[in-house]
Chain A
Amino acid sequence: MKYEFVETFLLAPRALCGPRLATSHSRTPEVVRVSLLEVRDLDAGYGELQILTDVDLDVADEEYVTIVGPNGAGKSTVMKSVFGLTTHMGGTVTFADEDITATKPEDVIHKGLGYVPQNDNVFAELNVEENLEMGAYILDEVPQDALRMVYDRFPILEERKDQKAGTMSGGQQQMLAMGRALMLDPDLLLLDEPSAGLAPDLVDEMFDKIDEINEAGTAVLMVEQNAKEALRRCDRGYVLVNGQNRYVDEGDKLLNDEDVRQDFLGG
């Protein structure tokens, strides 16, 4: 399905000549059809304050998509909006052909999405295992196979399963937060700045883990301030500026594009 998507994408005429402007993207019906997550003309913000204007975004099955852009561009707001944590002002969010625009935050997880916020993403007062159990709260029983899978992916969590989450290092908390979001084996994982605050040697490890998760079949939508590394690894990237899509293309192409490099990647 992933390749089918890329093919469709490459067949679109403007894809051949550098990064396309986002507005043209939303007019490409082929892309829409294969989307798992589909954001259309989204306007959203907090209370009276509008942050996002006409944002379009697609994530296909098993695809790895990154949102990059300057500080304050509204990258995190896109993620929060998908989870119903912002004030909705217009547009739609569709997931697996179901309109989830008005779905309450506590119900979004039932649809097959997992979300790792940037800050405060673990229950500090609960121990590691309890945090993971909370990840599967909506199930009657803690799924032992999922727990096993998370422990296999992040062995440090099993070693420290009785430790209070709040007493762990930033990197370990980040892994716990991801593990928690994986407990329901979501179709799409939203990651908000997974490398933020990590020691440099841990950043690579974190990106490797995300690659593994994606290769195992989970679509990933990631916001990253470490734009170069994120674009290098993802299938496709969006550049968000002032709450609007500016560019969208395959990660490598964005990375090599002169305009994108100059404006957003520091040359």
Chain B
Amino acid sequence: MGVSETYARGRRLAGEQPFAIVVGLVAVWLVWFLVEGLVTGRIRVSNVLSYAWDGLLRGLIVGLAGIGLSMTYSILNFANFSHGDYITSGAFSGWAVTYLLAGLGEANIGSLLLVGAGGSVFGGALGIGITTSPLAVVVGMLIAGAASIGLALFIDRFVYKPIRDESGIALLITSVGVAFALRYIIVFVFGTDVRGTTSAGEVPRVSFYLIDGSFRINAHDITLLVVAVGLMLGVHLLLQTTKLGKAMRAMSDNEDLARITGIPTEQVIRATWIVGGGLTGIAGYMFVLWKGTLGFNDGWLLLLLVFAAVILGGIGSIYGAIAGGIVIGLTASMSVIWIPSEFGRAAAFFVMIVILLFKPQGIFSGRTTA
């Protein structure tokens, strides 16, 4: 009787949710593969930890960039496809200043301001790094934020504001246009070459010996961790405790009601671009500092992951963006345990689809910044 009941329950589950069973089986296999690999020594514990660390940092960047996207979505009601190029613009502006500060006197100012376009200056040769030129890095980071804020406000004033009342689709298509315009303005000014900004070998790092291998953390990992977590905490406090933050949440919740309550909606929109733009620019700068290369496609390629993270987390929620970013980052990095590294991105999107099939509204469902 017990057996037949179990059998009946199994049959019912198979009938109702065949997909859940497939996913469950795949998950079991993945765990088995990992455990068996760790036990037999085929997979190193230290490597798994390194992948996780890498994934966490990647996830923080995606999450940080995603906060801005999520905020503009929830308050302005449109998916901003030019967000990726705000990331790139912030990165280029910030790095131009970092190059200038780090290389003043060593190379000509034009080459420095163009971030070594055409191989005129190499970032590695300037010895840029958080420990070797902290001032250049911090100022560059702030400039990256400021430049993205300026750009976001400028574009909003001249492109999005005049069509604020149009449908979300009109705004979305417009933002695709803005994305291309920005990207090729960057190409026009800075060129298409991918340059190395820091020389990986020179970044100070500590190695731990961990069971079966070494696990490294470098100074830029720590910088990224501190900056990203600090800013995320800052946004959290802004939204939960300040009057402006509460007004932002109120407006994303119910715009008409916000209006009749006397909340100046245009001011809140401007504040949203300032916060979102600043975070986006800094995310772009930190991304480049961390990975050590800079190219005109960086933000655009990152945007796909950012969108995945934001949708996964529940579009409109900043906590969703952060959580989604970390899930996406961890998946992209840790998938190399099971599959070739070329498929890391694909795995991240696959996981997004699987999670959305079970939670269609995202992890933090609902259209809100809260």
Contact = CB atoms under 8 A, between A and B. Distances in A.
Nearest to A166: B253
A108 B247 contact: no
A183 to B, nearest CB: 9
Contact of B253 (A83, A85, A125, A133): A125
Interface string A112-140: 00010100111111100010011101100
A142 to B, nearest CB: 9
B262 A138 contact: yes
B370 A126 contact: yes
B253 A107 contact: no
A192 to B, nearest CB: 11
Contact of B254 (A106, A115, A124): A124
B260 A125 contact: no
**Contact count band on B:** 20 to 34
B250 interface: yes
B263 A85 contact: no
Interface of B: 243, 246-247, 249-250, 252-254, 256-265, 366, 368, 370
Given A125-B366, A137-B243, A180 B261 contact: yes
Nearest to B266: A106
B249 A126 contact: yes
A260 interface: no
B253 A124 contact: yes
Contact of A105 (B243, B254, B260, B366): B260
Nearest to B245: A130
A176 to B, nearest CB: 12
A106 B259 contact: yes
B265 A134 contact: no
Q: Which one of A115, A123, A137 has the greatest number of beta carbons of chain B within 10 Å?
A: A123
A231 B39 CA distance: 81
Contact of B249 (A110, A125, A135): A125
The interface size bin for chain A is: 20 to 34
A83 B243 contact: no
A120 B260 contact: no
A109 interface: yes
B262 A137 contact: yes
A252 B252 CA distance: 44
Interface string A72-112: 00000000000101000000000000000000011111100
A125 B252 CA distance: 9
Contacts of B243: 133, 137
B260 A137 contact: no
A134 B259 CA distance: 11
B253 A106 contact: no
A30 B257 CA distance: 36
Contact of A125 (B256, B262, B263, B370): B370
A50 B217 CA distance: 67
A120 B257 contact: yes
A85 B260 contact: yes
Contact of A133 (B246, B257, B366): B246
A213 to B, nearest CB: 18
Given A106-B265, A134-B246, A134-B247, A123 B260 contact: no
Given A125-B370, A126-B370, A134 B260 contact: no
Contacts of B247: 134, 137
A121 B257 contact: yes
A123 B261 CA distance: 11
B268 to A, nearest CB: 10
A107 B250 contact: no
Contacts of A124: 253-254
B7 to A, nearest CB: 41
A76 to B, nearest CB: 13
Given A125-B366, A137-B243, A83 B261 contact: no
Nearest to B368: A125
B260 to A, nearest CB: 5
A106 B262 contact: yes
A122 B256 CA distance: 11
In the A-B complex, the 7 residue pairs with the smallest Cβ-Cβ separation, listed nearest first, are A109-B262, A138-B262, A125-B368, A105-B259, A125-B370, A125-B253, A123-B253
Contact of A123 (B254, B259, B264): B254
Interface string A7-51: 000000000000000000000000000000000000000000000
Given A123-B253, A125-B249, A133-B246, A106 B260 contact: yes
B256 A137 contact: no
Contacts of A180: 261
A115 B261 CA distance: 8
A81 to B, nearest CB: 13
Q: B243, B256, B258, B262: which has the most chain A beta carbons within 10 Å? A: B262
Contacts of A109: 260-262
Contacts of B259: 85, 105-106
A136 to B, nearest CB: 9
Given A117-B257, A137-B243, A123 B249 contact: yes
A222 B258 CA distance: 21
A123 B265 contact: no
A242 B8 CA distance: 62
Contact of A126 (B246, B262, B264): B246
B253 A126 contact: yes
A115 B370 contact: no
